[in-house]
Structure 1
Amino acid sequence: MSGPLLKVESLVKHYPLGAGILTKNIPVVRAVEDVSFFVEAGETLCIVGESGCGKSTVARLLMRLTDPTGGRVLIDGTDIASLRKHELRAWRRRMQMVFQDPYSSLNPRLTAGQIITEPVENFERLSRKQRNALAADLLQKVGMSPEMMHRLPSELSGGQRQRLGIARALALKPSLVILDEAVSALDVSVQAQILNLLMDLQQQLGIAFVFISHDLGVVEHVGHRVAVMYLGRIVEVAPCEALFAKPVHPYTEALIAAAPVPDPTRVRLEAPVEGEVPSPVNPPGGCAFHPRCPLAVERCRVEVPPLVQIAHGRAAACHVRAPAIDIPTQPTVACDSSIASPGEANELIPALERPVIARPIT
């Protein structure tokens, strides 16, 4: 089928803080507000942002682990957000998830082999020989010995548990895998092994990844495109190299400026932003970033900036930086499905300089 594998349109999720038939104007947590993006087959889209910006909520909505308040989640053109439970069951094979905690997401009473084969047995009967063969094959694909299929999660290291979680996600041969902070709990050396494993598996199997992380170093290593979230909204979408070479939104600049520098001879400058993230219960009017933005103007305080296309494959939601361009088709989609090269994207953004984020020690 032509078109993106995953397409999200105007996704919204509100959590009410109270209940009762006599209660009026119940306050709500605006966890996700008008989020739109797409993912092509075999592509990695990274979603980044501070803690509490709504990244994990988006992941749960994509997997239909929680129901959206509004919007659509389309897999190959089918809106899974509107499917009933018995209709959704067949689509579970197309999408799987790797959770942040590699221990609490695994059943401690099942062996590694049982954990891998359990999803498959929900859909089809397997003999003992088939189960062992499937578990051994997937363990080898994620760099583990087949003999480990008889071990419990408590007998595995953190990196081995995360590999086991990846093997379980691959058991149903999905087209899309959601990775929610999949390497944040691991040591740096183990992180590198898991990331290289994911990239190899994507090249071999053609899987699309939605990679959720707050670590920009990891994102720069694995991503094809990046969507930056702030207080429940996407504020910028761009090809990975173009985003890091020349960020458009002031919040993206702040994230890059706050990232640590691995070179000990250089010092990272302070991020050019102050203050704390506003409450999602009572977000500020207009652009949610304007109380912390050094470029904010009066329009930012009263009008929510739309996510508009600013170059081929790039979009941003900023009254100051992003010119208002009428997009002829599907304005709710983050940007065109074709991905521009970083050089092409950078040339099309006028008068934007990359922020100075590091300086040598003197």
Structure 2
Amino acid sequence: MNTPLLKVENLTKHFRLGTDFLKKAVPIVRAVEDVSFSVEPGETLCIVGESGCGKSTIARLLMRIVEPTCGRVMIDGTDIAGLKKQPLREWRRRMQMVFQDPYSSLNPRLTAGQIITEPVDNFERLNRQDREALAADLLRKVGMSPEMMHRLPSELSGGQRQRLGIARALALKPSLIVADEAVSALDVSVQAQILNLLVDLQQQMGIAYVFISHDLSVVQHIAHRVAVMYLGRIVELAPCEVLFARPTHPYTEALIAAAPVPDPARVRLEVPIEGEVPSPINPPRGCAFHPRCPLAVERCRTVVPPLVPMADGRVVACHVRAPSMDVPADPIAAAAAPFTHISQP
């Protein structure tokens, strides 16, 4: 069995609210709790969920922008969560990030060409001719004219800025790109262009994506597999077509049912979900979704459901829909189910 490009095991992040200077109990935000998944070369794994469920925190943990409380983040079998300074610096070439806001993620004082080549300058020295050739080539790859390398970000539209952010991410020839809500700040027509660009680049260069989004229509267009998060935990992970055709976890059902349908003749399934998302400072015992779940039983209130593999290739954390009597010895392996390419919808 081939080693996955990215393998995440039991990733956890707790944020302490203040210090214990007065020897008092300090509240802890449990942003990410025991998350495991894998990503194969050339695969797109989308992470979805409500605001505050921990999606963006996972992106920052993968990039080591914030340090994990515990758990492992392995690239080609090497745990980068434990690397320091120079070893980590070398591994950063393998992973790049595209940020949500194309307006604030670019240095306004640098030209487009300087923005693209700045990451390369951190690792190797290029002369002016090579630097301009690299910038021109990457601008062409993302659908922009090479003449734009002399423009400042303020002279570009939102879509052009996000294309520039993608070109910057490609400069170091990464194996993995983490895209955190990369199209949410763009117009719908520009969103489609950027998504198609990402798909084309993946087919040409074999790049893997961890794509974070709250927009299910975007996810359905680009994803190979989808991980659904609720209050810091993955509750369902499945191939994209399987998940949207037959959601299993009650929260996944509610999430898909809440998405707007552009066809007025189509009747949308209504899934009753009551109450508010619990606080990550004081999450419920057992299944975090049980206070809002119409299917909750007594066991849901006391026991955290493990991710259980189903016959159709998905894994689900639900005592009712996926009873955990046949839990595998390695639950991490269940969340890292084999990936096979599917055609994009």
TM-score in terms of structure 2 length = 0.96
Number of aligned residues? 342
The 3 A distance-change label for structure 1 pair 201 and 319 is same
Q: How does 1:33-48 map to 2 (within 5 A)?
A: 33-48=33-48
Q: How does 1:40-119 map to 2 (within 5 A)?
A: 40-119=40-119
Q: How does 1:350-361 map to 2 (within 5 A)?
A: none
Q: Separation in 2 of the partners of 1:271 and 1:258?
A: 8
Q: CA deviation at 1:338?
A: 1.6
Paired position in structure 2 for 1:152: 152
Q: How does 1:340-355 map to 2 (within 5 A)?
A: none
Paired position in structure 2 for 1:346: none
Q: How does 1:87-236 map to 2 (within 5 A)?
A: 87-236=87-236
Kept in 2: contact 1:312–1:340 (CA 8 A)? no
Q: Which AA in structure 1 matches 2:230? A: Y
Q: Which AA in structure 1 matches 2:273? A: V
Q: Separation in 2 of the partners of 1:223 and 1:275?
A: 30
Kept in 2: contact 1:313–1:336 (CA 8 A)? no
Paired position in structure 2 for 1:281: 281
Paired position in structure 2 for 1:28: 28
Cα deviation per residue 1:29-70 (whole Å; 9 max; x = unaligned)? 000000000000000000000000000000000000000001
Q: Which AA in structure 1 matches 2:85? A: K
Paired position in structure 1 for 2:248: 248
SS at match of 1:177: strand
Q: Which AA in structure 1 matches 2:5? A: L
Where does structure 1 lack aligned partners over 5 or more consecutive residues?
Answer: 343-362
Q: CA deviation at 1:330?
A: 2.6
Kept in 1: contact 2:228–2:252 (CA 8 A)? yes
Q: CA deviation at 1:271?
A: 4.0
Kept in 1: contact 2:37–2:336 (CA 8 A)? no
Kept in 1: contact 2:223–2:240 (CA 8 A)? yes
Q: Which AA in structure 2 matches 1:306? A: P
Kept in 2: contact 1:224–1:240 (CA 8 A)? yes
Q: Separation in 2 of the partners of 1:35 and 1:140?
A: 38
Kept in 2: contact 1:237–1:334 (CA 8 A)? no
Where does structure 2 lack aligned partners over 5 or more consecutive residues?
Answer: none
Kept in 1: contact 2:113–2:132 (CA 8 A)? yes
The 3 A distance-change label for structure 1 pair 340 and 196 is closer
Q: Separation in 2 of the partners of 1:231 and 1:328?
A: 24
TM-score in terms of structure 1 length = 0.91
Cα deviation per residue 1:153-196 (whole Å; 9 max; x = unaligned)? 11100000000000000000000000000000000000000000
Q: Separation in 2 of the partners of 1:63 and 1:41?
A: 17
RMSD: 1.6
Q: Separation in 1 of the partners of 2:92 and 2:124?
A: 14
Work out the percentage of aligned pairs sharing the same amino acid: 79
Q: Runs (4+) of structure 1 moved beyond 6 Å?
A: none
Cα deviation per residue 1:92-111 (whole Å; 9 max; x = unaligned)? 10000000001101000000
Cα deviation per residue 1:94-130 (whole Å; 9 max; x = unaligned)? 0000000011010000000000000001000001000
